[in-house]
Structure 1
Amino acid sequence: MTNVSHTNELAKEKLPKYIETELGKEKLCIECQEYWPLDEEFWWTRKNKSLKDPNGIRYEAACKCCYNVRYRPGHVKGTYKVKSQHEKVAA
């Protein structure tokens, strides 16, 4: 019982969404709670026509590895391979 309550306390702990590291800007994944570099290799993107974002690019809240776990829980594993743009060009 104490492990479950301890895990819930950690999940409620407020972490910053973005941090600056020697690699550049990194974003927090809401599923795995880890920071990943803010680029298209680690994050799915959407075009955003908001005045708040001058670049017009919005990054998803879950990293590419956690995207199916978070947003497609019934998805059969192994039938869809996630490839970044870099992997598609290299193949």
Structure 2
Amino acid sequence: MPRLRPSVETELGTEIQCAKCGEFWPAEKDFFYFHKGRPHSWCKDCYSNDPKIIAKNLRHKQLAAARYEAKKQKDSNHANHPKPA
């Protein structure tokens, strides 16, 4: 049986508790990431400030920059060597 996360009903609607910071936030996409229609256990602020997530995002940015540079280099090599007639 799945464990239910603490939640409260307010005038803003249902608020759920972040598993990391313990704060209650509205169960909306502005405050939580959603996967398959269910909110992630950590709020967006806690998730984005987690060192593992920061490192993962940095790796993705570095890989994207490396791919861009490789494509740029490949394109410039093709421009310098026209096809024989």
TM-score, normalised to structure 1, is: 0.49
Unaligned runs of 5+ in 2: 59-85
Unaligned runs of 5+ in 1: 1-15, 48-56, 79-91
- Higher relative contact order (Cα pairs below 8 Å, separated by 6+ residues): 1
Alpha-carbon displacement from aligned partner over 1:35-71 (angstroms, at most 9, x marks no partner): 0001000000011xxxxxxxxx110000000013457
Distance in 2 of aligned mates of 1:21 and 1:71 = 32
Cα RMSD of the aligned pairs, angstroms, is 2.8
1:18 match: 7
Structure label with greater radius of gyration: 2
Q: How many residues align?
A: 54
- Quickly say closer, same or farther: Cα 1:70–1:30, change in 2 above 3 A: farther
Deviation of residue 73 (structure 1)? 5.8
2:38 match: 58
Q: Where do residues 22-33 of structure 1 align in structure 2 (5 Å cutoff)?
A: 22-33=11-22
Distance in 2 of aligned mates of 1:36 and 1:74 = 22
Which has the larger helix fraction? Answer: 2
Distance in 1 of aligned mates of 2:17 and 2:7 = 6
